[in-house]
Structure formats: C-alpha cells, structure tokens
C-alpha cells in the first residue's frame, strides 16, 4: 500500500525525519483529512530541509522568517494555516517530551496587527485566556461587528478575571452567582447568549462535551424540574398541575416533553383566578384566538393536546366529569412529508465521509443504517453493540429497550474504531481529546451539520433527517410498516404511516418494480 503520508525525501536531521514521520503516521491513523496530511507533509518537508537543527532549537523567529518568504505567493488564510500546522506539530512534540515549551503562539498573537478584539487584561488562568482570545479572533475573522465583539469580550473578561477555574469546569451555577454578585438579572439574555456562544465554540473545537448554559426553556435541569416555576393565582390549579406533571415524570415521559407541558400550562393558567374545572370550551377557544392567532397550526395543535391531556388526567382523578377540549377545536394542518435525503444527496455525503475521522464515519453510518434517534446513539455503550450480528440494544423513549440493526459497512467501521481506541471509557462514541469523554448529543449534531455543509446538500443535515431517510428508503424497498415501526421504536403504527406519503418519483419507482 502506498505510504503517501510519509516524507518523500530524507531530512538532513535524522531525528527530525523520524519525529515528523511518526506525527504524519499519527494523523493518518486518526483518519485526518488526506489533503491536510499531504499539506502538512509538504510544508514540513520544505521547512526542515533548510533547518538542520534539533526540534528544541526551533523558534518562532525561524518559522516566521520562513513563512514571510511565502507571503508573496500565499494568501493570508494560507499563512494562518501554515502556523496552525506548526503549532499542532509542536504541541505533539511537547506532549511526547521532545521539547520543553511551545515555540508557536496562537495565531492571533502574531499575525494580526489590528488586535482591538483581544482581551485587555491578563486572566488568572492561562488556558481561559488562550481559549477566549481564540474565540474572539474567530468572531473577528468572521467579520462580526466591532461593537458586538467588544461586548462579548467585556462580559467574558469580567467573568473570567474573577476565577481560576478552567472554562471546561464552569457550570451554570457559577455564571448565575457571578450575575447575582454584579446585580445582573439572571434572565438577561445578552449575557447568557454570550456565555452560550463561547461554550458552543468550545464544543465545536472538541474542548467541551455539553453546553453548561441552558436555553430559557431548558432551565430546571436539576431537582424537581417538572414542578411549576411560578405560583399560580389559583392554588387548586397549581396543585393539580404539579400532580399532573409528576404523573408524566412517573410515566417516563422525556424531560423535554415535561418541560414543554409545564411551560405551556404555566402560560395558560398564570392569569386565571378561576378554577380549571370551571372553564368552558368557548372560553378556552377564545384564549387561543386572542393569544395564538399568529401561531402555526402545528403549534396550536400541540398546545391543545397538552390541555386535553391535562383535562383527561383530571377526569381520571375525579376532579371533573368531562374534558372541555373538543375535537372541533383542533386545526387540521396538512400532513407534511418528512425531510429526507435523496440518492444523489446520500452519494454526495458518502463521498465526503471518506475524508472524515473514523469516529465521525461511524456516526453517519450508524444513524443512516439504523434509524436511531440521536439520544439513543449518545447513550450507547460498547457492550450494547454486537458487531457479529450487526445489532445494538438501545434505550428509546419511555425508557424502553429495543434492538436495532445496522449495515455491514457500519459494523466494519465500528470494529476498526473500537480496536484503535486507547481509552477505557465504556461509551461507544467518545471525544477525541485526552479525557475521552462520552460524545455529547450537541457534538453529534455539530459533526453532521458540518458534513452536510461540506457535501453541499440542500437544507441542514441532522440526526432526525437520517432517521427519516432510513424509514423512507425501507418503505421504498418494500418493507412492511409494522417492521419499520418496530425498528424505529414507534408504539403506534400511525406515527410510521407518515412515511407512506412518498413523493411521486418514489411511487413511480415502486410501480415499475412490481408492475413493470
């Protein structure tokens, strides 16, 4: 097999030659982009041919002088990329104990003359300083306004100047304490969105697994999150709704579902002094006309389902005789066809997956050929997967286990990925950093989103789109709806029925297959 990732010519310094080849082999084994590996090889081949000194003797001045000579032939972006290649290589040397310090600072420290975006003071934690400056530099290069960057910088600088805790260990409680101390309303969205944006950047860089700053609708992630967050005017309503929400928790409804139920019921009853059982159908309908007339039909339907479920609970508890929610109150939205990938889009994505890291190829293949939800894949452990039978045991909605199947190609990729893992984490998918933590749902979504963008497909690529694609392809190939429902974990086959709404080209394909 052609070893195209290795140096093509011997370097004057044999030790440098050995280390560079080991580094290139590491990139190859980690399934890095082939173009990046070859670029790294060519850059180091040229640089170390004229720098016959030990690695520990290489300085930023050496690299800067060599890069300066390239400036006439290269764009600023390429120059930045060169420095990034050197910094990553010397970081590897630092970890291996081949050098004592990193000679190449972060790109923002040397390349850009206009550093108005940069932190204006030194933070107690150097790691925080580097990560925030890296983030601010990203905002600067993506042409965010100076005013916005200054606001983000001021907020992050004010918070991190008071703590030595690494950014990777900051949680929502730390941020809330700081806001309270500085008399900042904890509901101030500008401050929370700044922290959320910064931590999203950390996640994209693989430095964090989960977002510590929840969105407003996600708050209440600890303790009795199903309880109402405000006191309702009618105490009996307050008590009934909390009992209803607790019943959802006991019935294993997902946290997301319970929070959406809680937030809407809180909104509906927050100004009502009368008891819930005294409301008539016309009063409820009038409220929707006044408060949700501009809402989408699907949203109005979901809110009516929440109210209906609550009132049915009250009927079962004997609080009322019958529900005031009538079927005529529900809008009749047009049944939407699930957004799935066509054959051409799948082919484009597959072409791009060949350039991905092995772990990311496993993510795409598993989701595409199993139809699993992202939450189910996130929770998978190695022990849950049977590579020989190409089968996995996943924990789905309602905390119900089911068996799913995946392709032979997926099994081969997973086997290779697991063999190359050096960590002891039981999780099937882990981060690529030294901690090797379980890969977060947000990170899986981020990987797929970037894959879709690189492949140039229309719309966003997300886990549920792959689930739709799986179901649609299974139906197009003649699979029974009951089988598809079982594979997807649908308790009601009517939920699966939506995939029967295939576009015309699929119907024509099936007609020709069976009728000629």
On the question of pLDDT at 489 being above 50, the answer is yes
Higher pLDDT pick, 514 / 307: 307
Nearest-5° angle of CA 295, CA 300, CA 306? 140
Q: Is 226 part of a structural domain of the chain? A: no
**64 or 383: whose pLDDT is higher?**
383
Residue 1 pLDDT greater than 50, yes or no: no
Looking at the domain assignment, is residue 229 inside a domain? Answer: no
How many Cβ atoms from other residues are within 10 Å of residue 294's Cβ? 5
Catalytic residue, from 87, 153, 467, 468: name it: 467
362 and 432 both lie in a single domain: yes
Question: Does 503 score more than 70 pLDDT?
Answer: no
Per-residue CA distances from 77 to 38, 80, 83, 84, 130 (Å): 18, 5, 10, 11, 20
Average pLDDT (231-245) is 91
Q: Are residues 325 and 347 in the same domain?
A: no
Size of the chain, expressed as the number of residues it contains: 516
Which of 329, 359, 386 is the C-terminal boundary of a domain?
329
Which residues, in sequence order, are bridge partners of residue 401? 395
Q: Is the dihedral of CA 35, 41, 44, 45 positive or negative?
A: negative
Q: How far apart are CA 318 and CA 47, in angstroms?
A: 81
Query: pLDDT: is 145 or 401 the higher one?
Result: 401
Indicate if 325 and 352 belong to the same structural domain.
no
Q: What confidence score (pLDDT) does residue 114 get?
A: 55
Mean pLDDT value of segment 79-94? 80
The pLDDT value given to residue 312: 92
Pick 81 or 460 by higher pLDDT.
460
**Are both 378 and 508 inside the same structural domain?**
yes
In a domain, 1, yes or no: no
Q: What is the pLDDT of residue 216?
A: 55
Confidence of residue 494 (pLDDT cuts 50, 70, 90): low
Task: Check whether residue 503 and residue 360 sit in a common domain.
Answer: yes
Strands 391-395 and 385-386: antiparallel
- The yes-or-no answer on residue 464 being catalytic is yes
Distance CA 174, CA 161 (A): 13
Q: Is residue 118 domain-resident?
A: no
Query: Catalytic site residue 177?
Result: no
Residue 220 has pLDDT above 50, yes or no: no
CA nearest to 369, candidates 330, 327, 411? 411
If asked whether residues 179 and 285 sit together in one domain, one would say: no
Same domain membership, residue 248 and residue 304: yes
Residue 429: predicted pLDDT: 92
508 and 444 together in one domain: yes
Establish whether 417 is a catalytic residue.
no
Q: What is the CATH number of the domain that holds 26?
A: 1.10.150
Across 246-256, average pLDDT = 83
Nearest Cα residue to 363 out of 437, 439, 424? 439
Lowest-confidence segment of 42-46, 211-215, 301-305 by average pLDDT: 211-215
Q: Are residues 436 and 379 in the same domain?
A: yes
Pick from 143-152, 322-331, 444-453: least confident: 143-152
**Interatomic CA distance for residues 105 and 86, integer angstroms:** 10
Across residues 95-99, what is the average pLDDT?
77
The arithmetic mean of pLDDT across residues 280-303, rounded, is: 86
Binning pLDDT at 50, 70 and 90, where does residue 385 land? very high
Confidence of residue 280 (pLDDT cuts 50, 70, 90): very high
From the list 153, 373, 390, 468, the catalytic residue is 373
pTM above 0.75, yes or no: no
* Boundary residue ending a domain (267, 298, 329): 329
140 part of the active site: no
Indicate whether 173 belongs to any domain.
yes
- Give the lowest-confidence range in 8-22, 86-100, 362-376: 86-100
In this predicted structure, what is the pLDDT of residue 76?
61
pLDDT at 398 (0 to 100): 72
Residue 218, pLDDT score? 46
Catalytic residue, chosen from 397, 402, 449, 462, is 397
- Assigned domain for 377 exists: yes
The count of domains in the chain is: 4
Q: What are 278's two structure tokens?
A: 């005294």
Choosing from 57, 81, 109, the residue where a domain stops is: 109
What does each C-alpha distance from 240 to 236, 249, 269 come to in angstroms?
6, 14, 12
Domain contains 271: yes
Burial class (CB in 10 A: 0-12, 13-18, 19+), 101: exposed
**Predicted confidence (pLDDT) per residue in 152-185, tens digit:** 999 999 999 988 888 888 888 888 888 888 888 6
Q: Which residue has the higher pLDDT, 361 or 434?
A: 361
Identify whether 397 is a catalytic site residue.
yes
Together in a domain, 422 and 458: yes
CA distance 353 to 366: 13
Mean pLDDT of the chain: 81
- Residue 295 is assigned to a structural domain of this protein: yes
Active site residue 92: no
In terms of domains, do 358 and 476 share one? yes
Q: Write out the residue range of the structural domain in which residue 183 sits.
A: 126-213
| pLDDT value at 373 more than 70 | yes
Lowest-confidence region among 332-346, 390-404, 444-458: 332-346
């Amino acid at each position: 097999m052609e070893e195209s990732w290795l140096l093509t010519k011997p370097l004057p310094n044999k030790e440098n030659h050995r280390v560079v080849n080991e580094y290139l082999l590491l990139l190859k084994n980690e399934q890095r982009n082939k173009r990046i590996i070859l670029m790294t090889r060519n850059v180091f081949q040229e640089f170390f041919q004229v720098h016959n000194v030990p690695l520990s003797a290489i300085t930023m001045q050496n690299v800067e002088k060599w890069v300066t000579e390239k400036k006439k032939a290269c764009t600023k972006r390429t120059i930045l990329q060169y420095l990034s290649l050197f910094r990553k290589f010397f970081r590897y040397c630092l970890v291996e104990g081949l050098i004592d310090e990193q000679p190449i600072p972060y790109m923002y420290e040397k390349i850009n003359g206009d550093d108005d975006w940069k932190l204006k003071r030194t933070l107690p934690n150097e790691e925080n300083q580097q990560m925030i400056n890296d983030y601010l530099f990203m905002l600067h290069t993506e042409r965010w306004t100076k005013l916005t960057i200054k606001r983000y910088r001021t907020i992050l600088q004010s918070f991190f100047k008071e703590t030595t805790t690494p950014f990777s260990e900051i949680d929502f409680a730390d941020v809330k304490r700081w806001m309270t101390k500085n008399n900042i309303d904890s509901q101030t969205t500008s401050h929370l969105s700044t922290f959320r944006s910064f931590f999203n950047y950390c996640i994209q860089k693989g430095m964090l697994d989960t977002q510590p700053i929840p969105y407003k609708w996600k708050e209440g992630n600890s303790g009795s999150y199903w309880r109402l967050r405000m006191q309702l005017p009618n105490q009996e309503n307050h008590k009934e709704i909390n009992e209803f929400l607790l019943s959802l928790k006991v019935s294993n409804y997902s946290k997301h579902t319970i929070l959406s139920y809680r937030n809407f019921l809180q909104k509906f009853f927050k100004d009502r002094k009368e008891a819930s059982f005294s409301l008539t159908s016309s009063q409820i309908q009038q409220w929707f006309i006044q408060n949700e007339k501009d809402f989408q039909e699907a949203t109005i339907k979901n809110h009516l389902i929440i109210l209906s479920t609550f009132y049915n609970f009250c009927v079962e508890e004997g609080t009322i005789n019958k529900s005031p929610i009538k079927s005529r109150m529900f809008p009749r939205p047009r049944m939407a066809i699930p957004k799935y990938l066509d054959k051409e889009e799948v082919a484009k994505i597959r072409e791009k997956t060949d350039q991905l890291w092995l772990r990311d190829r496993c993510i795409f293949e598993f989701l595409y050929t199993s139809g699993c939800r992202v939450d189910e894949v996130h929770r998978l452990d190695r022990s849950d997967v049977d590579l020989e039978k190409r089968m996995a045991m996943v924990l789905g909605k309602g905390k119900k286990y089911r068996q799913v199947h995946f392709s032979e190609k997926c099994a081969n990729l997973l086997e290779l990925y697991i063999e190359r893992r050096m960590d002891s984490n039981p999780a099937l998918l882990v981060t690529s950093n030294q901690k090797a933590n379980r890969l977060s749902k947000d990170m899986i979504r981020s990987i797929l989103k970037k894959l879709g963008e690189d492949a140039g497909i229309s719309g966003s690529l997300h886990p549920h789109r792959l689930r739709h694609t799986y179901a649609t392809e299974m139906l197009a190939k003649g699979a029974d709806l009951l089988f598809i429902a079982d594979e997807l974990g649908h308790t009601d086959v009517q939920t699966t029925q939506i995939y029967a709404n295939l576009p015309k080209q699929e119907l024509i394909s099936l007609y020709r297959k069976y009728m000629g």
